[in-house]
Structure 1
Amino acid sequence: MNPFVAADLPPVTLDIDVLVGRYADRAGPTGEPREVTATLAANGITRAAVASLRAALFDVPSGNDEAAALAGPGMVPVGGLDLRDPLGAEREIERLAERGFRAVRLFPDEQRVEPDFPSVRHVTRRATEAGLVILTGGDVRRFWRPLRGATVVFLDTHFYHLGDFVVAARDEPGFHTSTRLLNSPDALETVAEHLGVDRLLYGSRTPFYEAAVPRLRLARGGLAPADVAAVAGGNAHRILELPA
């Protein structure tokens, strides 16, 4: 058990932001699936939406096959797409949808893709037509526009940019945010007040971030117990259309 995690913290029934694999150009955890699973269990996380860094950085099909192999009671595979190859992304979206994937993940920062690149809007449309939820990194202030009309979880929403997310999401019922970087005293409550608690999804970015931080913020905030349970997994189950 992580020493910073108290016993009274709420369990997380579905973490929307988990990775396996590693970044070859930087120090850090290996991202071995067995180690990731152990880290999740130590932090009270019983289920995770998992994408492969291999798909994001090296080879899309084999990386997504790696994620698919993890499917089970505790793991929901998420397909990675390469925005640098929109035609290849088209084919991969079709393959993932046929295999029963519920979501795809975009890595614009890692792939050095800008929000006004045609591929971003194109891939968004194709994924939405296939019925897939989009999980995306990147600055929400820059990437919200090409993702309009989709069901999206912005994984990198920072509390400094929370106002921009709120005003964009008011007109986009499909816009949701991870809680990972919403660590100011009133960030979660602000989203709940202006948009509804159903727009908040717990994300940890295990193993590259400390899972206890967003969990502590969720536990120590002003949300009612039912709302905490929704953020800690209920909302993710709903948008991914998964049984609880």
Structure 2
Amino acid sequence: MAVDVNVTVGPWPTDDHEQWSTGDVSAHCDRFGLAAVVVRHSVAVRYDPAEGNRRLAAELAAAADPRLLPGYVLGPLDSGEHGAPADLPERLRADGVRAVWLFPRSHGWSLAGPEARSLLGALRRAGLPVLVELDEVDWSEVDELAAAAPELNVVVCGVGYRSLRQLVSVLDRRPSVHVDLSFLASQDGLELLVGRYGPGRLLWASGAPSRDPAGAAYLWRHSDLDGAARAAVAGGNARRLLGLPAAGAPPSVDPGWPAGPGGDVVDAHGHIGAWPSCWVPRESADDLVAAMDRAGTTQAVISDLLGIWADPVAGNARMLAATAGHPGRLYGYLVASPHRPQDEPLLERQLREPAVRGFKVHPHTHECALDDRRYEWIWALARRHGVPVLGHGFAGTWHSDPYLFGAVAERHPDLVLLVGHSGATVEGFRRTIEVCRRHPNVYAETCGSWLTGRWLGRLVDALGPQRVLHGTDACFIDQRYGLGRVHGAALTDHQRALVLAGNARRLLQLPLPPQRLLPQGGN
């Protein structure tokens, strides 16, 4: 049975995610077939580590579920908040603590500062694995920690896709540094890291409830790893780091999904190409289609990132070449820049290409707010040809807030607008719901780092299943995370089918590909 090294219980002051009890964690173990879960308490993260650790010990004792293992949150010891440094290792052992969490950014200290020295000494004596969320540290601090205490096993959680350049540099240098799968989001990142370092540096984790456990489970279930590597990632590595006995059978993380591709899936928000601020290791159309086959994606509608960032004309030409190279699997959005009305004749001709299904606008990279009048020629072109526009959406920004989609929809009620990422953040999801309710020509597209199955269910409940489209943001974000969230969400089969494919087929007028082109793989 598998092991999850990253779960939180306790109250949370925002509505970013659910608030889990120990009973919820036990149900989580049952759902995913987990033999053990490392649990931390929200009060230790959001209020006071010592108080949260005491609450965790009491709640785990009351739950009496041996699968729930305590992970204490610690910080600098010189202030006396965690008792005498000398006997901390013994107290951790007496409490059955299996791992230590550190939150230096939230708790006002630095891993590289003098305040960390006594803590580091105690952790070395305790010999427990140390877990950190990436948004709490930077990679230089992780590197320094691993250099100062190479005998400590450090697990960096929630890696995402933006820091792959720094990640591989640290993993190359520091064999004691590991990564969890709660959001190892770079496309094919799991296969990339296992191919580079072997399977021993990766640990399965859900990040629940702030992240969606179904994403990490789907990633593992549809990976290209062999049996031994899959077993190591699912539980063998965690057992070694946590000092747990070896499993009697190969561990598995499988909530009962089909072994192969599971029905019609359209990715309504995909890309090919590079991104300036992060390394995209597999960026070609061939790479994307291979990832689609692995995940079980029938078709994807893509734009080229060269067009989004620098050169719309060249980017659109590359997109058209990619779709021509994969007919029936890849369709495209033409990138339109509000600063380039001179492109209108070319875009008018390209709209007649059979693979083109609409426009992509990116107010962030083009530095022009979505409701700016400079987009009017694009809106007119889209309306004239009856094609939708997918726009980058990000709540709280001056350029891409969902409310700006509402302003455009008010002026052009016959223009179909897709709010990319559904506004990206929890507040973005709320604003997207508000805008879509007011404007029937606006739809929610779901790719992004913060969406969970719970929020997907809220979007569907609020808007109806006909107004929500599945997207993944490949080739940034691994498609398996996005698909796992949809499969794991509390949706009916009818709702799931509309979200995964039906709505995109209707709005983007996508034909089904020939049977011979459909994904045939699956693990």
TM surpasses 0.5: yes
Question: SS in structure 1 opposite 2:107?
Answer: coil
Cα shift at 1:112: 4.2
Letter of the 1:100 partner, please give it.
Answer: G
TM-score for the superposition, normalised by structure 1: 0.83
Q: Which residue of 1 aligns with 2:123?
A: 127
Aligned mate of 1:74, from 67, 83, 92: 67
1-side partners of 2:183 and 2:137: how far apart?
Answer: 12
Q: Which residue of 1 aligns with 2:210?
A: 208
Aligned mate of 2:240, from 213, 238, 241: 238
| Count of aligned positions | 233
Q: Is the 8 A contact 1:15 1:45 kept in 2?
A: yes
Question: SS in structure 2 opposite 1:221?
Answer: coil
2-side partners of 1:220 and 1:58: how far apart?
Answer: 38
When residues 49 and 169 of structure 1 are mapped into structure 2, their CA distance, relative to the original with a 3 A threshold, is: same
Structure 1, unaligned runs of 5 or more: 1-11
Q: Which residue of 2 aligns with 1:179?
A: 181
Cα shift at 1:119: 2.9
Structure 2, unaligned runs of 5 or more: 248-523
Question: SS in structure 1 opposite 2:192?
Answer: helix
- 1:152-163 to structure 2, matched below 5 A, reads 152-163=154-165
Aligned mate of 2:168, from 143, 157, 166: 166
When residues 196 and 91 of structure 1 are mapped into structure 2, their CA distance, relative to the original with a 3 A threshold, is: farther
2-side partners of 1:214 and 1:89: how far apart?
Answer: 33
Aligned mate of 1:192, from 194, 217, 225: 194
- 1:84-163 to structure 2, matched below 5 A, reads 87-89=80-82, 91=84, 93-94=88-89, 95-137=91-133, 138-148=136-146, 149=150, 150-163=152-165
Q: Is the 8 A contact 1:121 1:146 kept in 2?
A: no
Q: Which of 186-195 and 27-36 deviates more?
A: 27-36
CA root-mean-square deviation: 2.5
When residues 225 and 86 of structure 1 are mapped into structure 2, their CA distance, relative to the original with a 3 A threshold, is: farther
Cα shift at 1:26: 4.8
2-side partners of 1:30 and 1:236: how far apart?
Answer: 25
Q: Which residue of 2 aligns with 1:219?
A: 221
Cα shift at 1:75: 1.0
Q: Which residue of 2 aligns with 1:57?
A: 46
Question: SS in structure 2 opposite 1:204?
Answer: coil
Q: Which residue of 2 aligns with 1:3?
A: none
Letter of the 2:243 partner, please give it.
Answer: E
Letter of the 1:77 partner, please give it.
Answer: P
Q: Is the 8 A contact 1:16 1:201 kept in 2?
A: yes
Computing the radius of gyration over CA atoms, which structure comes out larger, 1 or 2?
2
Question: SS in structure 1 opposite 2:43?
Answer: helix
Question: SS in structure 2 opposite 1:78?
Answer: strand
Deviations 1:191-241 (A, max 9, x none): 112222110001111111110101111121211122111111111001111
Q: Which residue of 2 aligns with 1:5?
A: none
Q: Which residue of 2 aligns with 1:20?
A: 9
When residues 86 and 104 of structure 1 are mapped into structure 2, their CA distance, relative to the original with a 3 A threshold, is: farther
When residues 200 and 166 of structure 1 are mapped into structure 2, their CA distance, relative to the original with a 3 A threshold, is: same
Q: Is the 8 A contact 1:115 1:143 kept in 2?
A: yes
Q: Is the 8 A contact 1:16 1:202 kept in 2?
A: yes
When residues 121 and 172 of structure 1 are mapped into structure 2, their CA distance, relative to the original with a 3 A threshold, is: farther
Cα shift at 1:121: 4.7
1-side partners of 2:131 and 2:166: how far apart?
Answer: 18
1-side partners of 2:2 and 2:210: how far apart?
Answer: 19
Which structure is richer in relative contact order (CA contacts within 8 A, separation 6 or more)?
Answer: 1
When residues 83 and 212 of structure 1 are mapped into structure 2, their CA distance, relative to the original with a 3 A threshold, is: farther
Q: Which residue of 1 aligns with 2:284?
A: none
Q: Is the 8 A contact 1:136 1:154 kept in 2?
A: yes
Q: Is the 8 A contact 1:13 1:47 kept in 2?
A: yes
Answering whether residue 19 of structure 2 is matched by residue 30 of structure 1, we say yes
Of Structure 1 and Structure 2, the greater helix share is in 2
Q: Which residue of 1 aligns with 2:417?
A: none
When residues 227 and 54 of structure 1 are mapped into structure 2, their CA distance, relative to the original with a 3 A threshold, is: same
Cα shift at 1:139: 4.2
Question: SS in structure 1 opposite 2:131?
Answer: strand
Q: Is the 8 A contact 1:82 1:106 kept in 2?
A: yes
Letter of the 1:99 partner, please give it.
Answer: D
Q: Is the 8 A contact 1:40 1:206 kept in 2?
A: no
Q: Is the 8 A contact 2:72 2:97 kept in 1?
A: yes
